[in-house]
Amino acid sequence: MSAMAELRDATGHSHQRLERRLDVKRRFSDLAAYREHLQHMYGFCAGLERRLAQPALSAALTDYAERRKLPLLRRDLVALGIGSAVLAGLPSCETLPECAETAEALGCLYVLEGATLGGQTLLPMVRARLGLTADTGAAFLASYGDEVSTMWQRFGGAVDAWCATPERSARAAQAAVASFEALEAWLCGARA
């Protein structure tokens, strides 16, 4: 089984639980709710991207700089009227898994890269309900545009190449599950 398949299997339960708790219809029901959701995503990505900023990750995933989500979220929030002072004061998620080793970093990044796939299904809803496009507040959801499949395949190739040993694959899977749990807690609060 490939490392990507192992990540998918390991995170399946966590991913489904997050989707059930997220309540996308409420979060994308109006501009205020959508803006609040993006602010939370900004805080999560700010914390995680700080941990992912390491030369080893860039060596394993040569296009990592193109994959960063904070610039997209910043662009969206500015388009939705959030000023730089408010952006600078947004809380940052600190309850995140360690990403010191490249396999762990790839596992954490799996969650954000998966969000780009989900963004493709949410973008039409945001366009229809809120009238937003990639240029007017939905850049994060649009992420890679027409290149989503290509970027996902390249990410999968990097994960499979780097996490080819059982030890690395296990570390990536543990970090991915922990990232899903951290995202769920950050966006939805503690589970009852």
Here the CATH number for the domain that contains residue 141 is 1.20.910.10
Q: Does position 190 have pLDDT exceeding 60, yes or no?
A: yes
Average pLDDT over residues 112-127: 93
Residue 135: what residue type? Answer: D
* 75, part of any domain: yes
- Domain residues for the domain of 21 are 3-187
Among 61, 183, 171, 71, residue whose Cα is nearest residue 118: 183
Residues 6+ apart with CB under 8 A from 91: 43
Number of domains composing the chain: 1
* 77, part of any domain: yes
Average pLDDT over residues 57-79: 94
3 state DSSP class of 190: coil
Residues 6+ apart with CB under 8 A from 83: none
**Mean pLDDT score of the chain:** 93
| Predicted TM-score of the model (pTM) | 0.94
Exposure pattern of 62-75 as b/e (b: 16+ CB <10 Å)?
eebeebebbebbbb
* 33, part of any domain: yes
* 192, part of any domain: no
